Amino acid sequence: MNGGKKQLVLNKGSEKFIFRYEDGCEGELLDCLVEHANDGRTDFDWFDAAVLSFKLTQSLIGEADRLLYNELPDTIQPFLNESE
């Protein structure tokens, strides 16, 4: 992973929800999304939490793919490129 701080952003009408987190703290971020979805003081709801958790999952899958691809021996990588 690239290390450092990351963020997830959700624009909802005139509101903008920004959640900043560090690599390795994705579980804490998910807990935070649940807390905000349960908090009736904002318009952030369970659908919004689901959207951001999906974005987080897609980001993690992309990072895992990049790590896996970069760690493959050079003899295997050309075969992967041919199938794309």
pLDDT of residue 1: 43
- Confidence (pLDDT) at 69: 80
Dist. CA 6–CA 26, nearest whole Å: 10
Q: Is the dihedral of CA 46, 51, 56, 57 positive or negative?
A: positive
As a whole number of angstroms, the distance between CA 59 and CA 2 comes to 12
Q: List per-residue pLDDT tens for the chain, 84 residues long.
A: 456 899 999 999 999 999 999 999 999 999 999 999 999 998 999 999 999 999 999 999 998 888 888 876 665 555 555 555
pLDDT reported for residue 19: 97
> Strands 5-12, 15-22: parallel, antiparallel or unpaired by DSSP?
antiparallel
Cβ-in-10-Å burial (0-12, 13-18, 19+) of 2 comes to exposed
Give this prediction's pTM.
Answer: 0.75
Joined tokens for residue 56: 């987080």
The whole-number pLDDT of residue 79 equals: 56
